[in-house]
């Protein structure tokens, strides 16, 4: 199987490159013999809602804890706002610009949300002033808790508790906010609340780095993602580019040799038709017809091009037995990049020739 990765959408010509808010290079953390994070290089740009994705145990929390200076890497570098975090002074300066909800925040159940935040503001070094109290009210407002600010914490729903945690992280006006599994354990309403809050943080110009094992959730809110498996980075890019590479027109043929013939026809046609950008062998998605040999061809074109693709092939006597739209979700993408290697593609087929999104 070939995984053609879509190219990252390049910034519009003339647009200044975006500031790198956070960069890790070769970040590695071992616990005894276990490698929790393995040579991880990430780049979070200003304005991103960046999702660190992977199943439980893949190293997400460990990565975020290293970023926040809570644990020390065994190897690799972290820089935030261009400052190397290995330097103590830099680290303090950078961490002042980062808010986080990583460990379960401890709130007093019998105090109100507002009283809890006032306490945290004091602890965070904000002066006991009218301005600090105004800031508390401001963050309560921005997480949508203003009307419930005087209710005791124990009366809050899980979604409200999570939003209060985010409010606490916002007190110091961070440029970057780090959230570990922000929707984990929430009911569907809570998930929607927190998701829309994350979207509104991004609109306020706060860069968000979050982790999640819930890929569907992430697809709804993240602009860029990195996919981790067992501490190793499998893919990184914009959600749209990762999905585009896995979406398009899926063709299946009744005769196995037609698969390679179809690739050849499309390769030749690509010289003439710029919209023919890439193709790859894929295993049919669940529910699709499984052709002999088990492989289908995914052509990375919009579904509107189906008649043209079909006509190109038919003109050469190649008739698809099934032709369907394939729309990838991050879930499918994740399965595709984490799955065990599938059986070999058809013998003699020019697999390498269609690698990297090129026919």
Which residues of this protein are in contact with ligand ADP, per CB under 6 A? 31, 34, 36, 54, 56-62
Write the Ramachandran bin of 245: left for phi over 0, alpha for psi from -120 to 50, otherwise beta: alpha
- 212 makes contact with Mg ion (CB under 5 A): no
Strand partners, 22: 44, 80
Which one of Mg ion, ligand ADP, none is in contact with 154 (Cβ closer than 5 to 8 A by kind)?
Answer: none
Indicate the residue among 102 and 279 with the shorter CB distance to Mg ion.
102
31 binds, among Mg ion, ligand ADP, none (CB under 5 to 8 A by kind): ligand ADP
Among Mg ion, ligand ADP, none, residue 54 binds (CB under 5-8 Å by kind): ligand ADP
Range in contact with Mg ion (rule: CB under 5 A) among 57-65, 165-173, 223-231, 326-334: 57-65
Task: Report which of 33, 26, 19, 177 is spatially closest to residue 97, judged by C-alpha positions.
Answer: 177
From the list Mg ion, ligand ADP, none, pick the one residue 229 interacts with, judged by a Cβ distance below 5 to 8 Å according to partner type.
Answer: none
- Name the nearest CA neighbour of 296 among 308, 305, 286: 286
Nearer to ligand ADP, 57 or 69 (CB): 57
62 binds, among Mg ion, ligand ADP, none (CB under 5 to 8 A by kind): ligand ADP
Give whichever of 74 and 355 is closer to ligand ADP, judged by the CB atom. Answer: 74
Distant-in-sequence, close-in-space partners of 48: CB < 8 Å, separation ≥ 6: 21, 202, 207, 208, 209, 223, 224
Min dist. Cβ of residue 213 to Mg ion (A): 8
Interface size with Mg ion, residues (CB under 5 A): 2
What is the token pair recorded at 187?
A: 């009911």
Binding piece for Mg ion, criterion CB under 5 A, among 58-66, 168-176, 199-207, 229-237: 58-66
Q: Candidates 56-64, 199-207, 223-231, 333-341: pick the segment binding Mg ion (CB under 5 A).
A: 56-64
Residue nearer to Mg ion on the CB measure, 73 or 113: 73
Whichever of 28 and 61 has its CB closer to Mg ion, that residue is 61
Output the smallest distance, CB 336 to ligand ADP, in A: 20
Smallest gap from Cβ 297 to ligand ADP, in A, equals: 34
Distance of closest approach, residue 64 Cβ to Mg ion, in angstroms: 8
| For ligand ADP, the closer CB: 59 or 165 | 59
| 24 binds Mg ion per the rule CB under 5 A | no
Measured CA to CA in angstroms, residue 300 lies from 245, 276, 279, 317, 323 at distances of: 7, 7, 6, 22, 13
Nearer to ligand ADP, 70 or 254 (CB): 70
Report the residue number, 62 or 207, with the smaller CB distance to Mg ion.
Answer: 62
- Pick the closer one to ligand ADP by CB: 62 or 142: 62
Q: What is the rounded CA–CA span in Å between residue 311 and residue 309?
A: 5
**Pick from Mg ion, ligand ADP, none: which does 92 bind, CB < 5 to 8 A by kind?**
none
Q: In what order do the strands lie in the sheet with 248-252?
A: 279-282, 296-299, 248-252, 322-326
And the tokens for 74? 């065994």
Q: Which residues of 116-130 are buried (b: 16+ CB within 10 A; e: fewer)?
A: bbbebbeeeebeeee
With beta carbons less than 8 A apart as the criterion, state whether 75 and 235 touch.
Answer: no
- Cα angle, residue 131 at apex, residues 129 and 132 outer, rounded to 5°: 70
DSSP of 231-300? TEEEEEEEHHHHHHTT-EEEEE-SSTHHHHHHHHHHHHHHTT-TT---EEEEPPPTTS---TTS-EEEE-
Report which of 181, 104, 171, 162 is spatially closest to residue 137, judged by C-alpha positions.
Answer: 171
61 sits near Mg ion (criterion: CB under 5 A): yes
Length of the chain: 359
- Report what 162 binds from Mg ion, ligand ADP, none; CB cut-off 5-8 Å by kind: none
Interface ranges with Mg ion (CB under 5 A):
60-61
């Amino acid at each position: 199987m070939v995984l053609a990765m879509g190219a990252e959408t390049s910034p519009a010509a003339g647009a200044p490159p975006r500031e790198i808010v956070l960069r890790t290079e070769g970040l590695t953390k071992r616990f005894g013999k276990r490698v929790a994070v393995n040579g991880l290089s990430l780049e979070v740009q200003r304005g991103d809602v960046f999702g660190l994705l992977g199943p439980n145990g893949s190293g997400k929390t460990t990565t975020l804890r290293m970023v926040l200076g809570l644990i020390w890497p065994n190897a690799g570098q972290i820089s935030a706002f261009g400052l190397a975090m290995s330097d103590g002074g830099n680290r303090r300066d950078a961490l002042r610009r980062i808010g986080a909800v990583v460990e379960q925040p401890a709130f007093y159940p019998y105090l109100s949300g507002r009283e809890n935040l006032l306490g945290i503001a004091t602890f965070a070094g904000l002066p006991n002033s009218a301005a600090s109290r105004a800031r508390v009210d401001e963050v309560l407002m921005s997480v949508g808790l203003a009307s419930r600010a005087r209710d005791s914490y124990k009366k809050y729903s899980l979604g409200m508790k999570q939003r209060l945690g985010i409010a606490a992280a916002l007190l110091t006006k961070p440029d970057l906010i780090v959230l570990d599994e922000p929707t984990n354990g929430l009911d569907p309403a809570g998930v929607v609340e927190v998701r829309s809050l994350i979207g509104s943080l991004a609109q306020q110009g706060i860069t968000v780095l979050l982790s999640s094992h819930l890929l569907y959730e992430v697809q709804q809110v993240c602009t860029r993602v990195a996919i981790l498996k067992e501490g190793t980075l499998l893919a990184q890019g914009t959600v749209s580019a990762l999905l585009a590479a896995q979406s398009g027109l899926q063709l299946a043929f009744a005769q196995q040799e037609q698969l390679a013939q179809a690739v050849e026809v499309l390769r030749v046609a690509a010289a003439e038709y710029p919209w023919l950008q890439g193709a790859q062998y894929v295993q049919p998605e669940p529910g699709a017809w499984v052709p002999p040999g088990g492989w289908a061809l995914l052509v990375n074109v919009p579904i509107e091009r189906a008649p043209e693709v079909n006509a190109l092939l038919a003109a050469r006597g190649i008739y698809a037995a099934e032709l369907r739209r394939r729309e990838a979700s991050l879930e499918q993408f994740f399965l595709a990049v984490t799955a065990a290697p599938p059986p070999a593609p058809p013998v003699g087929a020019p697999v390498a020739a269609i690698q990297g999104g090129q026919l």
